[in-house]
């Protein structure tokens, strides 16, 4: 589809593409070229109702319920195969719509979802917590009895992925739903809409029973209609903590449905006194500047021994000058644009406010000299109070705060002085870093940079970083309700207490 086309059939309900009926359109603009990526007609509230009704009918119908664990595993595997087969065009589309540099997009934005889906396929066969049914030990009060725990799919899922990793976040939600036997209504972020539409074209090739997967597109009104719908059983949302709180309230008022929320972060990156400072500079910067800083686990607070802060910033400034900022379609680019001009203006405003309050841009900063695109150079600020707005707010930009500390206890105080708790990192010898990792209030802690994003490890964190988990055994279990079945071994008995 060319950037000038308007896609009318942007809503997928009951196994068929339909025209969006709201009478409104949304155009996705490339943050690098500032040209339109595509325009879509938006769904109406009535189409949200129709999508949920279709998902409910599919969940309760015989066709989808007839898919056993191996059948569902095969579906998820075929989904992964289709994504993998289309890696290059999907990565190019994400580079255009989101701005992720193509060299990273192939792996992070497409390869990661493929790996997660293949893990979900394995889980479909294994079942949650090691199986779909678990026997409990015998119980002898008031009579000898036995019990069985059955894990059954939760029902209709409302899935709302964010724009920054549109396929990843969709795969985490849809992969778990398909593997567990749930049915789904997806509402993507408008800023990742074109990528999601393309993924649904691939999903259509799976020939699933009508209603198993559905797609609506729109803004906050459509989100409120979906998350507050009385026939939704589970909501899975990725986005800001402010919107996440609204989603939780809407789901509670709608059907008291369970909400799994993966929200923001202001992740600390602690460089211990014994760490090799030179070795920490590049990974520290690349981690907070990855995807132009548009990641909830960006190491956006760098904690440095106070006597080495100036040295770290000097080395950081030298390294930032080597980073290629620019066209995300260029394989040599390391940092692409932020999502919009409005978002860049907001970030620059926060940096200006911090500088006016006494902060210093100690490394990098400013905009690259490019004719088009919403670019920011990576930057590190110093002279910021721990509780300053820029030190407490998730920026979603390649900007970090360097905070000096006097000793490890002081570093722990600073690191945990946040309402978030999604991720953290510690640089230093393992025997010193491990006790620090154990003291951090964080859902995930890496040491010396960790490694890849494991689909078998849970993702999420305490505080305003969210509720529940995605991925891992804990994340897969979110897609289920557990049923306890109990019976006496001696036949029919009187109810306890009678």
Q: Does 3 score more than 60 pLDDT?
A: no
User: How does DSSP classify residue 470?
Assistant: B
- The pLDDT value given to residue 2: 38
pLDDT exceeds cutoff 60 at 317: yes
pLDDT digits (tens, 9 = 90+) for 432-447: 999 999 999 999 999 9
pLDDT tens digits along 124-147:
999 999 899 999 999 999 999 999
Beta strands in 191-324 (DSSP E): 213-215, 234-238, 258-262, 268-271, 301-305
The sheet carrying 423-427 orders its strands as 360-364, 379-382, 399-405, 301-305, 268-271, 423-427, 444-447
Does pLDDT of 81 surpass 50? yes
Strand partners, 445: 424
**Mind listing the pLDDT tens digit for each residue in 97-110?**
999 999 999 999 99
Give the C-alpha separation, 21 to 19, whole Å.
6
Query: pLDDT category, 28, cuts 50, 70, 90?
Result: very high
**Between the CA of residue 446 and those of 286, 372, 449, 451, what are the distances in Å?**
15, 36, 6, 8
| Distance in angstroms (rounded) separating the CA atoms of residues 230 and 235 | 12
For residue range 51-74, what is the model confidence (pLDDT) as tens digits?
999 999 999 999 999 999 999 999
Domains within the chain, CATH numbers bracketed: 6-263+465-484 (3.40.605.10), 268-447 (3.40.309.10)
Cα separation, 127 vs 150, whole angstroms:
10
The residues, ordered by sequence, that sit 6+ positions from 81 with a Cβ below 8 Å of its Cβ are none
DSSP-derived letter for residue 234 is E
Q: Average pLDDT for residues 41-60, to the nearest whole number?
A: 98
Over residues 255-275, mean pLDDT = 95
Q: Which residues contact 358 (CB under 8 A, 6 or more apart)?
A: 383
- The per-residue pLDDT for 5 is 61
Q: Give CA angle at 240 (238, 244), nearest 5°.
A: 70
DSSP 459: B
At 487, which helix (H) or strand (E)?
strand 480-488
Q: Which residues are catalytic?
A: 262
Q: Tell me: the pLDDT tens digits for 325-347?
A: 999 999 999 999 999 999 999 99
Mean pLDDT of 26-42: 97
Contact 45, 221 (CB under 8 A): yes
pLDDT(4) > 60: no
User: For the whole prediction, is pTM greater than 0.75?
Assistant: yes
Q: Strands of 145-153's sheet, edge to edge? A: 133-139, 145-153, 480-488
Mean pLDDT, residues 33-52: 97
pLDDT, tens only, 197-254 = 999 999 999 999 999 999 999 999 999 999 999 999 999 999 999 999 999 999 988 8
């Amino acid at each position: 589809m060319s950037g000038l086309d308007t896609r009318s059939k942007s809503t997928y309900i009951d196994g068929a593409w339909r025209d969006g009926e709201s009478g409104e359109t949304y155009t996705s603009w490339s943050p690098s070229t500032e040209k339109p990526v595509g325009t879509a007609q938006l769904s109406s509230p009535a189409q949200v109702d129709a999508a949920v009704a279709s998902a409910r009918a599919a969940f309760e119908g015989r066709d989808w319920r007839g898919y056993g664990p191996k059948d569902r595993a095969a579906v998820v595997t075929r989904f992964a195969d289709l994504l993998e087969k289309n890696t290059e065009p999907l990565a190019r589309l994400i580079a255009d719509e989101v701005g992720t540099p193509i060299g990273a997009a192939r792996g992070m934005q497409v390869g990661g979802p493929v790996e997660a889906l293949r893990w979900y396929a394995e889980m479909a066969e294994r079942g949650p917590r090691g199986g779909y049914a678990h026997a409990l030990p015998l119980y002898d009060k008031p009579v000898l009895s036995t019990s069985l725990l059955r894990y059954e799919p939760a029902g209709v899922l409302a899935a709302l992925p964010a724009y920054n990793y549109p396929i990843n976040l969709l795969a985490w939600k849809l992969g778990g739903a398909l593997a567990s036997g749930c049915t789904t209504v997806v509402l993507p972020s408008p800023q990742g809409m074109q990528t999601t539409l393309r993924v649904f074209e691939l999903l259509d090739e799976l020939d699933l029973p009508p209603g198993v997967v559905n797609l609506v597109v729109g803004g906050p009104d459509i989100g409120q209609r979906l998350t507050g719908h009385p026939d939704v059983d589970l909501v899975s949302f990725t986005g800001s903590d402010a919107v996440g709180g609204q989603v939780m309230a809407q789901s509670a008022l709608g059907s008291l449905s369970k909400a799994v929320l993966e929200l923001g972060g202001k992740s600390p990156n602690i460089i211990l006194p014994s760490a090799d400072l030179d070795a920490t500079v590049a990974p520290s910067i690349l981690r907070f500047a990855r995807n132009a800083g548009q990641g909830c686990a960006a190491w956006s607070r760098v904690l440095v021994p106070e006597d080495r802060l100036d040295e770290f910033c000097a080395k950081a400034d030298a390294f930032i000058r080597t980073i290629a900022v620019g066209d995300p379609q260029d394989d040599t680019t390391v940092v692409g644009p932020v999502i919009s001009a409005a978002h860049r203006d907001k970030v620059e405003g926060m940096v200006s406010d911090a500088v006016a309050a006494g902060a210093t841009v100690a490394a990098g900063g400013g905009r690259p000299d490019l004719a088009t695109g919403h670019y920011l150079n990576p930057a590190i600020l110093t002279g910021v109070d721990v509780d300053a707005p820029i030190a407490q707010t998730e920026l979603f930009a390649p900007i970090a705060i360097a905070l000096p500390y006097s000793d490890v206890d002081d570093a722990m105080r600073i690191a945990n002085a946040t309402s978030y708790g999604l991720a953290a990192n510690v640089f230093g010898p393992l025997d010193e870093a491990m006790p620090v990792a154990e003291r951090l209030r964080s859902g995930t802690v890496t040491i010396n940079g960790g490694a890849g994003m494991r689909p078998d490890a849970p993702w999420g964190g305490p505080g305003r970083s969210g509720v529940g988990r995605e991925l891992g055994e804990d994340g897969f279990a979110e897609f289920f309700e557990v049923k306890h079945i109990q019976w006496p071994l001696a036949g029919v008995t009187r109810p306890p207490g009678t």
